[in-house]
Amino acid sequence: ETGPNFALAQQVEREMQMGPRTRKVNVFEPLEDAEELYLNYRRHPSFAIYCGGNEGSFGPVMGRKFYAKVKAMDLDRLVTEQCTMAQPFWKRTVPYDGDKAQVWRGRKVSPRNAPEYYQLSETDDFISYPCKVWPRGSANPPCPMVGHEYLNLSVKADTRLADRFTGLWNHPLDRAQRGNWLTRFGLDHATGDRLQDAQHALQAIWQKRGIESARKDPHCDGYYFWSVTDCIRANEIGWTHKLDTENPAFMAQGLYNSFFEEKANGQTAAGFAAFNSPVGVFVDAEPADFHLVSGERFAFDVLLANYGESPLSAARVKWTIVGADGAELASGGADAGFRALGGVEKIAAFAPQAPGIERAAAAKLIVTVCDGDRVAGSGSWPCWLFPRRTTGAGRDLAVTGSVRAAFASAFDGVRDSAADSAVRVVVADEGSPEIAAALARGQSVIEVGGQAGPLNIELGWWFLSGIVGAIFETDDPLLRYLPESKALSTLHFRLFKKGLRLPVNGFSNANLAAISEEGKGCFAHLGARADRRGGRHVFAYGLAIDPALPESLALMDGLVDRARMPLTAAERETANEAGSVAAKAGAGAAGAGADSNKGGAGRL
């Protein structure tokens, strides 16, 4: 009779006798709402927290009253005044050391650029942070941390479903509108549908990577995944509520489409469950995305988050690398002993050699944790396998500009002068006068550009950002030394930047081996054409071929091989004559300004 909830329990009994209360409509009564929530749902298994709203504020007076009301009523559950990454100014602590500095349960609140500033001890038990993937362990607030609208990763709505929307709600963008937009870049629905499938594939990669990142973080206490189905929201220019007329696309950020179906080439329910189940098996790896060179050592730790039904009494870890045909290429294991229920912990570490192969190949790493004969959990990750490379012969190459050092390191005997009689292939930066001069001499050219700038691999949060997907013609000789990946994947994550807006000067779309789609256009990254004067014009744009990475070297070898190939008779009949790919802006919607053929900066 002296417990904190005794008086409230008596009230509950009285209300049960009185029957349902009558309520006024549309009355803002947050304190009464919280009380009603407690009275009706206090024993519901999914009732975990009290939240006063989303991305707003009760203000400094009501915020504290709301928190105090709940704590007096229901001490054991967590409370947050607002679920938000956009806290009002009054909650933000000025970062100074003084008697008036705010504290959170005895600790000074961090500066404004740290996550702790979002909360106060009088209003919140946890912070709603972050909303996107973050470096593991980089956010360590003095309170629980829950990801806010986590992984709201936007791609474009699939217009192939438009005819299935009938009646009350229709798809906001029909098939013809999508086709008209693709036509501006010389593309048809067949290519557009491949790009749409590539968007779903990229979305699936980031869904997996995002949830694994949250579950691996020792300071992350949860996340609310955003969201299960597509909401199909207009692509706006910022938060303006005005449709982006340059690209009248609509965003789709869900795990499933609007009909609760798995997306074409996207994440599956079974795949999602593999990393979102109570028992999670994860890896921390070096290199992070398993680009493995034959015979070289690589390292990875195995992490376990065990929220299953029981501890593991005799855990054992087994890993295998499996080829595309299912054959086991390498394996290993280790005992991990007793593992209690609870948060993520490292349970094993491995440093094996990459399997020996003769040709680049796609594979996957599978890690399984067993408890005796019972499989407790497992996970899998793409592996990109490369043969050991030796330095190539380069006496017929002349290289100038930004990638000279990279080519000189990868090939012996690289020349400085393009006019040397032994030179068959000239490598030069986009727009260089060397390109036109070499083509006029009948030499082949590799034109490179877009090396600077950030990687273009992340999807936007709530908006269409830069990249939404990309496709690769894997049977093209330009890609012969890379493992097969028909869509943008972790194979390309260290390479992929901004492309050239389509169409590209001198190149038909049939000449292209890599095309990407962004929020504001379609772009080219790889292409090769026959030149009427006898040489071959190859370009690589927005692909980082300068780092000494196995995938960069494989791409470089493909460029050189393609440039060295003599023209066939059929190619000579269709050959054209053009200069640098940068000489003419693409005819996309950005217009014909000097830089309109470059990818836009996008927004993240």
DSSP 387-431: PPP-PEE-TTEEE-GGGHHHHHHHEET-BS-TT-TT--EEEEETT
Residues 299 and 340: their CA atoms lie apart, in Å, by 25
Mean pLDDT of 48-57: 86
Residues 129 and 529: their CA atoms lie apart, in Å, by 49
* Percentage of the chain modeled with pLDDT above 70: 85
- Residues facing residue 543 across a β-bridge: 496
- Mean per-residue pLDDT of the chain: 87
Residue 107 binned pLDDT confidence (cut-offs 50, 70, 90): low
pLDDT digits (tens, 9 = 90+) for 250-264: 889 999 999 999 999
Decide: 567 and 534 in contact? Cβ < 8 Å: yes
Distances (CA, A) of 590 to 185, 236, 585, 597: 11, 16, 9, 8
Residues 362 and 442: their CA atoms lie apart, in Å, by 37
Decide: 148 and 85 in contact? Cβ < 8 Å: yes
Give the chain's largest Cα–Cα span. Answer: 101
Q: How far apart are the first and last CA of the chain?
A: 55
Burial annotation 492-514 (CB, 10 A radius, 16+ → b, else e) = bbbbbbbbbbbbbbbbebebbbb
Please determine, for residue 82, whether its predicted confidence score (pLDDT) is greater than 70. Answer: yes
Residues 264 and 266: their CA atoms lie apart, in Å, by 5
Residue 461 binned pLDDT confidence (cut-offs 50, 70, 90): confident
Mean pLDDT of 162-188: 89
| DSSP element (H, E) containing 537 | strand 536-541
Residues 261 and 37: their CA atoms lie apart, in Å, by 33
Mean pLDDT of 391-395: 95
Please determine, for residue 588, whether its predicted confidence score (pLDDT) is greater than 60. Answer: no
Extended strands (E) in 151-289: 153-156, 222-225, 233-234, 250-252, 279-286
pLDDT digits (tens, 9 = 90+) for 95-106: 434 444 455 445
For 306-310, 507-511, 559-563, 578-582, which range has the lowest pLDDT when averaged over its residues?
578-582
| Angle of CA points 581, 495, 411, to nearest 5° | 80
Residues 280 and 306: their CA atoms lie apart, in Å, by 6
Please determine, for residue 76, whether its predicted confidence score (pLDDT) is greater than 70. Answer: yes
Residue 89 binned pLDDT confidence (cut-offs 50, 70, 90): very low
Decide: 426 and 435 in contact? Cβ < 8 Å: yes
Q: What is the DSSP string of 340-399?
A: -SEEEEEEEEE--BPPP-SS-EEEEEEEEEEETTEEEEEEEEEEEEEPPP-PEE-TTEEE
Mean pLDDT of 429-453: 95
- Please count the CA atoms within 13 angstroms of the CA of 540 that sit on its side-chain side: 27
Decide: 444 and 426 in contact? Cβ < 8 Å: yes
- Find the Cα–Cα–Cα–Cα dihedral 140, 141, 144, 150, rounded to 10°: -70
- Residues in the chain, overall count: 604
Please determine, for residue 246, whether its predicted confidence score (pLDDT) is greater than 80. Answer: no
| Angle of CA points 510, 457, 319, to nearest 5° | 105
| Angle of CA points 417, 420, 426, to nearest 5° | 60
Residue 19 binned pLDDT confidence (cut-offs 50, 70, 90): low
Q: What is the pLDDT of residue 583?
A: 67
Q: What is the pLDDT of residue 408?
A: 96
Q: Scan for tokens 């298994």, then name that residue.
A: 45
Mean pLDDT of 391-396: 96
Sign of CA pseudo-dihedral 500, 503, 504, 505? negative
Decide: 182 and 522 in contact? Cβ < 8 Å: yes
Please determine, for residue 8, whether its predicted confidence score (pLDDT) is greater than 60. Answer: no
Tokens of 274: 């593999």
Decide: 584 and 180 in contact? Cβ < 8 Å: no
User: Which residues lie closer than 8 Å to 441 by C-beta, 6 or more apart?
Assistant: 419, 533, 535
| Angle of CA points 13, 18, 22, to nearest 5° | 120
For 124-133, 370-379, 439-448, 540-549, which range has the lowest pLDDT when averaged over its residues?
124-133
What type of residue is 4? P
CB neighbours of residue 587 within 10 Å? 16
The 8-class DSSP code of residue 126 comes to S
Distances (CA, A) of 62 to 33, 39, 82: 14, 21, 12
Tokens of 173: 């963008």
Q: What is the pLDDT of residue 238?
A: 62
Please determine, for residue 571, whether its predicted confidence score (pLDDT) is greater than 90. Answer: yes
What type of residue is 459? L
**pTM given for the model:** 0.88
Distance from chain centroid for Cα 527 = 25
Mean pLDDT of 464-475: 94
Mean pLDDT of 567-576: 94
Decide: 155 and 200 in contact? Cβ < 8 Å: yes
